[in-house]
């Protein structure tokens, strides 16, 4: 007579657990990149002196510095250095300087003031350059939607 001895069987789940953990890890890695791709579609606006400028469809942003003389003629002062500005002020006396941000067909007069000496012009110019730098950073940042200029 044959006697069979049966030992209790213990199933080895270590392989199944290893495969399940590996599968979950692979899924997490594959889906981990999905959350980092965001699309920002909000329109950008610039707020300055109680006016709102929509920058959503602007193709080109530029700047211009005009000087209006006492006789009504306008001088382009954009590319003038210190000697050029001092020459205009010496020859013409007081000049009304307008510092303008051009946005396609739209214009934003950032500063307009009467200037009689170069130090006043220099202060205006440094403030204008700072504003242009702020606008440039704002337009390059995908997340920001509004810029308040001072």
Indicate the pairing of strand 95-103 with strand 74-76: unpaired
Q: Containing H/E element for 109?
A: strand 106-115
Residue 14 belongs to a domain: no
Identify the pLDDT of residue 22. 83
Range of 92's domain?
51-148
Residue 27 belongs to a domain: no
Residue 6 belongs to a domain: no
Residue 18 belongs to a domain: no
- Write out the chain's pLDDT in tens, 150 residues: 676 766 566 666 677 777 778 888 787 777 666 665 666 666 889 999 888 888 888 889 999 999 999 888 999 999 999 999 999 998 888 999 999 999 988 899 999 999 999 999 999 999 999 999 999 999 888 888 899 988
Q: Containing H/E element for 13?
A: none
Domain count, the chain: 1
Residue 99 belongs to a domain: yes
pTM of the predicted model over 0.85: no
What is d(CA 62, CA 100) in angstroms, rounded to the nearest whole number? 8
Residue 8 belongs to a domain: no
Residue 101 belongs to a domain: yes
Nearest to residue 111, comparing CAs of 67, 75, 147, 74? 67
Residue 45 belongs to a domain: no
């Amino acid at each position: 007579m044959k006697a069979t001895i049966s030992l209790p069987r213990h199933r080895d789940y270590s392989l199944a657990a290893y495969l399940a953990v590996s599968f979950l890890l692979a899924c997490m890695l594959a889906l981990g990149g999905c959350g980092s791709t965001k699309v920002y579609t909000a329109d950008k606006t610039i707020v300055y002196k109680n006016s709102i400028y929509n920058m959503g469809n602007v193709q080109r942003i530029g700047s211009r510095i005009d000087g209006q003389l006492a006789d009504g003629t306008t001088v382009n002062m954009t590319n003038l250095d210190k000697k050029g500005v001092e020459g205009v002020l010496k020859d013409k006396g007081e000049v009304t300087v307008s510092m303008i941000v051009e946005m396609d067909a739209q214009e934003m007069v950032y500063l307009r003031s009467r200037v009689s000496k170069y130090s006043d012009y220099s202060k205006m110019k440094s403030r204008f350059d700072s504003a242009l730098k702020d606008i440039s950073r704002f337009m390059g940042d995908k997340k920001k939607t509004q810029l308040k200029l001072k």
